[in-house]
Amino acid sequence: MRIGIFLVAAQFPARESGRVLADAVELVVAAEEAGFDDAWIAEHHFMSYGVCPSATTFAAVAAGRTTRIGLGTAVSVLSTRHPVALAEQAAMLHHLSGGRFTLGVGRGGPWVDLEVFGTGLERFERGFEESLDVLVRALSGARVSAGGEFFRFREVPIVPAATMRPVVACTSEATLTLAARRGLPMLLGMHVDDREKAAAVAAYERVREERGTAGRAGGQADPAHGGAPGGAVEHVEHVEHVAAAVGFVADSTRQAVAELTEAMPRWLEPGLAGYLPVDGRPRPARDVGAYVDFLTRVHPVGSAARCVETILATAEATGLRHLILMVEGGGDHRRTLENIRRLGAEVLPAVRGRR
């Protein structure tokens, strides 16, 4: 199994955002020392839930502070970015990190970001497929052009060029279907349990099989590689999906749950309020107490033994072999460093020792 960390750059009360970012880089260094496979950073705008507005910039800094650990974005929001500009940044990071970088992208939400960055609600509601296809083409060869609704430009060279396959955050059936048709790995969030993760993996495989069969029968092309929309998925031998979960270890499960139950609402209550809809639609309500209870029940939170048991149970139930653990839930930087080191020393060897 591959086990990484997942950083939100969470701003707990009384913490200054610049300090949060500097501490987050230190967490990546600690994760490399503790033996984690990779570190992924989330992108957010205009809120305290996460104070990293450019996951690619953060990855560049982290690449310069580390030598081995993989680095990924979870995710870069494609609805507010030009896909070619994002592809150029990903290619730079690929080369400068020695191939350690993975680009994760997502649709995002109907938030005020769309207004501020000028891409508009339409890019979120119906432009994600076109954006993703342009991105994939830009990361698949030396040249790219576009002639769609949202992007129209002559063929240009990609400099530097890199061959990369992005990971796609899938929180809806539409996005899952799109990722499966393109043969792109999914990133599954920590808001879903093992049953829902297993259902997503099964749905993904059904779409791949259906599109592969249709493509072999009809000779359709994959738009991710220049073909017509609606074509068959590219043949990919293996797709390694990624799933996020909370990871928090203490001397006992009772202690771990108590720590997160006390700390996480202080971050989530003001943080989630930062999701401001662009068009006045009601903001989704979230029962923070119930959400924290869900996270501590279904994810590897507890004693080292319980963390190992939960990770192995997730792998067995879902078939997933790549988990990234959100380690910042305790709120205190020193406690988060301790959490990373204990997970590395007490949990990772036991997980990797099982077959």
13 Cβ contact partners less than 8 Å away, ≥ 6 residues apart: 266, 267, 270
Reported as type and span, the H/E element at residue 142 is: none
pLDDT digits (tens, 9 = 90+) for 39-78: 999 999 999 999 999 999 999 999 999 999 999 999 999 9
What's this model's pTM, rounded to 2 decimal places?
A: 0.94
Between β-strands 242-246 and 186-188, what pairing exists: parallel, antiparallel or unpaired?
A: parallel
Q: Quick one: tokens of 336?
A: 């988060």
Domain ranges in the chain are 2-352
**In which element (H, E) is residue 350 found?**
helix 348-352
- Paired tokens of 121: 């609600």
Report how far residue 72's alpha carbon sits from residue 111's, in angstroms, rounded to the nearest whole number: 23
- The CATH number of the structural domain formed by 2-352 is 3.20.20.30
Q: 92-146: per-residue pLDDT in tens? A: 999 999 999 999 999 999 999 999 999 999 999 999 999 999 999 999 988 999 9
Q: Residue 63: what pLDDT?
A: 98
Condensed to tens digits (0 to 9), the pLDDT of residues 271-330 reads: 999 999 999 899 888 899 999 999 999 999 999 999 999 999 999 999 999 999 999 999
User: To 5 degrees, how large is the angle CA 154–CA 155–CA 156?
Assistant: 115
- Tens of pLDDT, residues 186-214: 999 999 999 999 999 999 999 999 987 66
